[in-house]
């Protein structure tokens, strides 16, 4: 018994010493947390009235919804996108609503083109107060169908493009000691999703860039917000790309995008994003499923991986068109034209995802609409 007791003594002593030495660290961390919270509470709410807001990928979908709401908040809007026709339609809509707006065609994956676009905005309006990196691209399919080009395009759009715009605007924000940057990532930037590997990998990169920039730019008066949205009803599936069994992939993607209660409307997501930017939040997670998924992944990564592996077994295999990219609009079927996807179809018509000549009223009683093409 004496041997056992003498053996327990050093362990107990070591444990209590470790606990005592950890106390200052715990107190210090709590103190820093309290200071950060106090500063956040004291920070005046950001007023968008008269502010110049640059939105990439602003011609349709979430970008256009953000533009509408920011105009309503009194901001002046700069939209940039690659498609001139879509950009013209977005410009006409916002101008008709009385918005003070610039629309600049721009391929944000090119640093030179981004620099030229930012110079044009600065020459016209003098400064940029808020940058929202929203441009995105999606390729859906099994890992076997993904090529190096798929990864490269995803990285160019979700990592390099935000980096180009940030590098272009930060010197001007720093000179004024004021600015806001919002980087729209995805739940795929926190939890890698099956059949979206290039997308998820590039969104993870954006989260890392965004979080690091917040730490480094705060001393210059520039607040960076990382946005992690769940599935949003923007109407974007028809403009995504699908591989392998593309019609099945598109049907599953569109059905998932149309689920009520589980998905988030573009309007609600935009309100959350703008509110997060206004209060200078470090991170905005949009939608309760996203919050649940992030928490589950953080605390139980093995369980999350197991659940996602089970989901992957239910998804279609390679086959079909293989590595070829097929647009969503060319992957329609009777399912994707049915009442089951009406929420997504309605969002597509409302948010400039569909050309005007295709914006037909929904078929009565869930009847199948004839092909558009």
Show which residues are catalytic.
199
Beta strands in 48-135 (DSSP E): 52-56, 76-81, 101-105, 130-133
Query: Token match 């992690």: residue?
Result: 228
Whether 249 and 195 have beta carbons less than 8 Å apart is answered as yes
Return left, alpha or beta for 319; rule: phi > 0 is left, psi -120 to 50 is alpha, else beta. left
Using CA atoms, how far apart are residues 136 and 151, in angstroms rounded to an integer? 13
DSSP letter (8 states) at residue 298: H
SS3 184: strand
Q: 85-124: string of b/e by CB count within 10 Å (b at 16+)?
A: ebbebbbeebeeeebebbbbbbbbbeeebbeebbeebeee
Beta strands in 33-105 (DSSP E): 52-56, 76-81, 101-105
Tokens found for residue 262: 């589980």
């Amino acid at each position: 018994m004496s041997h056992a007791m003498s053996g327990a003594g050093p362990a107990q002593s070591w444990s209590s010493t470790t606990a005592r030495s950890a106390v200052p660290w715990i107190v210090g961390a709590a103190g820093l947390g309290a200071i950060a919270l106090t500063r956040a509470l004291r920070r005046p709410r950001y007023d968008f009235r008269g502010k110049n807001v640059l939105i990439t990928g602003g011609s349709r979908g979430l970008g256009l919804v953000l533009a509408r709401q920011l105009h309503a908040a009194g901001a002046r809007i700069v939209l940039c996108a690659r498609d001139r026709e879509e950009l013209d339609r977005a410009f006409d809509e916002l101008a008709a609503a009385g918005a003070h707006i610039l629309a600049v065609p721009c391929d944000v994956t090119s640093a030179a083109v981004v620099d030229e676009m930012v110079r044009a905005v600065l020459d016209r309006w003098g400064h940029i107060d808020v940058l929202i990196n929203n441009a995105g691209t999606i390729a859906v399919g099994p890992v076997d169908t993904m090529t190096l080009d798929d990864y490269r395009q995803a990285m160019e759009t979700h990592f390099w493009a935000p980096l180009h715009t940030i590098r272009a605007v930060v010197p001007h924000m720093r000179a004024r000691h004021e600015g806001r940057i919002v980087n729209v990532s995805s739940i795929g930037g926190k939890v890698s999703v099956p059949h979206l590997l290039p997308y998820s990998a590039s969104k993870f990169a954006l989260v890392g860039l965004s979080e690091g920039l917040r730490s480094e730019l705060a001393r210059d008066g520039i607040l960076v917000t990382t946005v992690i949205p769940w599935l949003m009803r923007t109407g974007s599936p028809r403009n995504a790309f699908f591989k392998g069994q593309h019609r099945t992939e598109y049907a599953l993607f569109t059905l998932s995008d149309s689920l009520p209660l589980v998905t988030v409307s573009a309007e609600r997501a935009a309100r959350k994003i703008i509110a997060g930017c206004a209060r200078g939040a470090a991170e905005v997670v949009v939608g309760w499923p996203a919050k649940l998924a992030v928490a589950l992944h953080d605390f139980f990564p093995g369980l999350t991986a197991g659940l996602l592996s089970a989901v992957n077994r239910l998804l279609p295999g390679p086959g079909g068109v293989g590595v070829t990219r097929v647009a969503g609009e060319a992957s329609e079927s009777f399912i994707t034209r049915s009442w089951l996807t009406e929420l997504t179809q309605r969002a597509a018509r409302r948010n400039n995802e569909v050309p005007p000549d295709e914006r037909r009223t929904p078929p009565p009683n869930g009847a199948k609409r004839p092909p558009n093409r």
